[in-house]
A and B are shown apart, each in its own frame.
Chain A
Amino acid sequence: MAPGAQFAAKRLGKELTKISKGLPAGIVLVQGDNFEEWLLDIQVLDSNPLYMGQTYRLKFKFGSSYPIEPPEVVFVKLPDRPIPIHPHIYSNGIICLDLLGQQGWSPVQNVESVCMSLQSMLTGNTKNERPPGDEEFVRGNRLRPKDIDFYYHDNNV
């Protein structure tokens, strides 16, 4: 096991213990049996018409240097789990959020805080649209989310 992986595993173990004691409303851990990949479901709880009644599936991938480096977080599309429509979420599930990039990430963040940030990002959105250039991006992108050089321009959402 790589030296950092032990650190990551320990930290994730701690988070898991905490999660097992309870998560905020609208967040459910679906799968968390290893320290590499977790699945969570999130819901938007208020009456935002864009997301009401929907459940979205999130996939967290943790590297060996988690929590120093951010996890890779994407929405996953399943028959009953759509990709939420949002000007910063591509239709393939990739999320453009500085919190999840090298710059915006902070090691004090955790799975729970990321989910809550996403929840609030959805809650605050009123635009029923995908990011500009969504189609080309989805067609052309072969990069992993963390390797994409996002251009964080929008401070309103």
Chain B
Amino acid sequence: MPPLNAPEEGVPAAGLASWQQDNSSTSYASYAPNMLSELPELGPLPETPTSSPPAPGPLLSPPASFMRTTRPRRFSNISISSVAATVGSETQSACVGSTRDLTGRSPVLLINYQELQYESEVDKSLECPICRTPFHAPITTKPCGHTFCSECLLRAHQLRPVCPIDRRPLDVERDFCKARVIHDQLDRLRVKCPSQGCGHVCARELLAVHYERYCEYTPVLCPDNSCDLWIARQDAAPDKGCLHKYTPCQYCSKQVMKAGLEEHYDRECSGNTVKCAQCDSSVVQHRMENHVANDCPSTVVLCKWNKYGCGKSAPRHDVQAHEKKPCIYQAIGRLAQDREDDRLIISELKVRLSAAEGRLRVAEQEKTERRERKRRQAGNTNNTMPPFVPDLNLSNSPRAAASYNNGTLDSPEDYMLAQFERMETQMEDLRKNIHELDGLHSMRLLNDTMRLNEQIAELGSKVGVIGMHTTWLMNVQRQSRGQQRAGGVVGSPLSSLASSSGGPGTTNSATGSVTNAARNAPDNEGGRYYNSSLPLRRNSDGRGENPPRL
């Protein structure tokens, strides 16, 4: 048989920790030197011709078993005990050791893989030839290709460093390798949880997790520090205290551990039972209530389909027979149950639908907003403001509340979750709306004030112009008055204009052609008239004769 070519290093997954620890090369190395020094001068023995390695049949071939050696060989106790010190701790721990699980809870009793019960018969070729149980953490010997549980092989190897089947000398470090294929194959087998009372069945590789973490029946160390006994995890609450203290049984005054009380009632306690008034069976006193409620065959109960119309009411065993017959209301009952299941599913779907709708609404809103924003950006160049209608649609909440009241949402948790989700989307909407409004307002404000500013500036400039006109007119008036007083110079067009006693609008007809022309021109053309017809400079001090143009 060719040796199994299992790869060297780097295994794996969960559940292998102990195995890796077992055959990690460090632990081998620690005791290998001892073994090597004690290796007998025994050459490689001829392999037995008949044996098929993993399952040594009943016929252990005589050549090997009758092999004689010429001197008795014994190992010094030193080597064996030192080996035991390194490896033995692990092998023993498989039976009574303890480990602290990752959650830091009290240590649990380790799984004894040899004791496991497999759901189906395991192939004989997958059994370890030493312990005769399905391999646990199998190791294959490299020179001869025989496979054993690592624990079994290491134990046997402590005693004699040879292959248990064909007696080839084996070196722990060099000649062992994990039998990965077999390991994987075995880890898929379904096993029963080893905890008493737990009926859990799972693949073997998942057992460790179930057992160490979740199984309520796993033996853990007693919560009382002074007690080193094991107790099922479900009974190990610190407030219950140590259940290993002896207390007198309430019925027979025998001293019994609290943990074993129920078993005591079942097995040995006498005088604790009472006769059930209805079915004549004897029941432990404090279990009577439970017995009547669930077990007693004579108690009158209703058919389980009574909700759906069956009016049968009879002793339990009759009713059970009646239900098995089956009860004619069973069809309706099943239908109703199916409907209830459907309703559950529907309500769940409704919740999911409403959540999806909310999400969709948000997405749509975002889309329209994006479009709006784009339009607004385009519109801003025309200085036109798109009409903005904030979408403050809060119609979701009344609807959800209604759906809860209508009973479409079953648990308050679901309702709260749906509510919460909706609230969130609403908050998001509101936040967006507020942002939008904020931007809009500031834009409007800016636009409005800009217009006002412009108008104000315009008005300001107009006022300034009017002021200048007034000054000019006042000056003209003052000049003409001064000239009249002086009785002075005639003939200048300025003086003639001034003598007409007023501005351009109030000139009389006494003066010459220039004034006529001025009168013919429209009023607002007055500036041009002055400019073109009167080549006079406008004085910056306002004393100029030419009025500023508007």
- Interface of A toward B, CB cutoff 8 Å: 3-4, 6-7, 10-11, 14-15, 18, 24, 67-69, 97-99, 102-104, 106-110, 112-113, 116-117, 120-121, 124, 149-155, 157
Asked whether B474 is an interface residue with its Cβ less than 8 Å from the other chain, the reply is no
CB-based contact B156/A113 at 8 Å: no
**Interface size for chain B: under 10, 10 to 19, 20 to 34, or 35 or more residues?**
35 or more
Nearest-CB residue, chain B, relative to A8: B131
CB-based contact B60/A113 at 8 Å: yes
CB-based contact A113/B59 at 8 Å: yes
For the complex, would chain A's binding face be called helix, strand, loop or mixed by DSSP majority? loop
Chain B residue contacts of A67, Cβ below 8 A: 130-131
CB-based contact B59/A116 at 8 Å: yes
Most buried by A among B60, B164, B167: B60
Nearest-CB residue, chain B, relative to A10: B114
Apart from the given pairs A99-B65, A108-B164, 10 other A-B contacts in the complex at a CB distance below 8 Å: A3-B96, A4-B95, A102-B74, A102-B159, A106-B156, A108-B56, A110-B58, A116-B59, A117-B66, A152-B69
Q: How far is the CB of B348 from chain A (nearest CB, A)?
A: 49
Taking A11-B131, A15-B132, A150-B72 as contacts, is the C-beta distance between A68 and B155 under 8 angstroms? yes
Q: List 7 A-B contacts (CB under 8 A).
A: A3-B96, A10-B131, A102-B159, A104-B65, A109-B60, A117-B60, A149-B74
* One of B129, B133, B160 near A108 (C-beta < 8 A): B129
* One of A7, A98, A149 near B131 (C-beta < 8 A): A7
Nearest-CB residue, chain B, relative to A154: B68
Asked whether B165 is an interface residue with its Cβ less than 8 Å from the other chain, the reply is yes
Nearest-CB residue, chain A, relative to B92: A3
Q: How far is the CB of B546 from chain A (nearest CB, A)?
A: 127
Nearest-CB residue, chain B, relative to A13: B132
Asked whether B62 is an interface residue with its Cβ less than 8 Å from the other chain, the reply is yes
Taking A11-B132, A102-B74, A103-B73 as contacts, is the C-beta distance between A113 and B56 under 8 angstroms? yes
Q: How far is the CB of B524 from chain A (nearest CB, A)?
A: 123
Asked whether B518 is an interface residue with its Cβ less than 8 Å from the other chain, the reply is no
Q: How far is the CB of B226 from chain A (nearest CB, A)?
A: 23
CB-based contact B69/A108 at 8 Å: no
Taking A7-B95, A69-B159 as contacts, is the C-beta distance between A24 and B58 under 8 angstroms? yes
* One of A14, A69, A104 near B133 (C-beta < 8 A): A14
Q: Which residues from 144 to 173 on chain B have a C-beta closer than 8 Å to any C-beta of chain A?
A: 152, 155-156, 158-160, 164-165, 167
Give per-residue flags for B99-136: 1 if the beta carbon is below 8 A from chain A beta carbons, else 0: 00000000000001011000000000000011111000
Asked whether B509 is an interface residue with its Cβ less than 8 Å from the other chain, the reply is no
Q: How far is the CB of B230 from chain A (nearest CB, A)?
A: 14
Most buried by A among B58, B71, B160: B58
Most buried by A among B65, B72, B96, B167: B65
Most buried by B among A11, A103, A110, A113: A103
Chain B residue contacts of A102, Cβ below 8 A: 74, 159-160
Report Cα–Cα, A112/B66, bound state, in Å: 16
Nearest-CB residue, chain B, relative to A3: B95
For the complex, would chain B's binding face be called helix, strand, loop or mixed by DSSP majority? loop
Report Cα–Cα, A62/B129, bound state, in Å: 18
Q: How far is the CB of A45 from chain B (nearest CB, A)?
A: 14
CB-based contact A152/B68 at 8 Å: yes
Chain A residue contacts of B70, Cβ below 8 A: 152-153
Chain B residue contacts of A69, Cβ below 8 A: 159
* One of A113, A116, A121 near B66 (C-beta < 8 A): A121
Chain B residue contacts of A10, Cβ below 8 A: 114-115, 131, 133
Report Cα–Cα, A7/B152, bound state, in Å: 10
Q: How far is the CB of A38 from chain B (nearest CB, A)?
A: 16
Chain B residue contacts of A6, Cβ below 8 A: 95, 112, 115
Nearest-CB residue, chain A, relative to B53: A108
Taking A14-B133, A108-B164 as contacts, is the C-beta distance between A98 and B69 under 8 angstroms? yes
Chain A residue contacts of B62, Cβ below 8 A: 117, 120, 124
Taking A6-B112, A121-B66, A153-B70 as contacts, is the C-beta distance between A107 and B59 under 8 angstroms? no
CB-based contact A99/B66 at 8 Å: yes
* One of A14, A98, A121, A149 near B68 (C-beta < 8 A): A98
Chain B residue contacts of A11, Cβ below 8 A: 130-132
Most buried by B among A3, A18, A106, A149: A106
Asked whether B67 is an interface residue with its Cβ less than 8 Å from the other chain, the reply is yes
Chain B residue contacts of A152, Cβ below 8 A: 68-70, 72
Report Cα–Cα, A152/B164, bound state, in Å: 20
Report Cα–Cα, A64/B69, bound state, in Å: 27
Chain B residue contacts of A99, Cβ below 8 A: 60, 65-66
CB-based contact B67/A104 at 8 Å: yes
CB-based contact B60/A103 at 8 Å: no
CB-based contact B159/A68 at 8 Å: yes
Q: How far is the CB of A122 from chain B (nearest CB, A)?
A: 12
Q: Which residues from 317 to 342 on chain B have a C-beta closer than 8 Å to any C-beta of chain A?
A: none
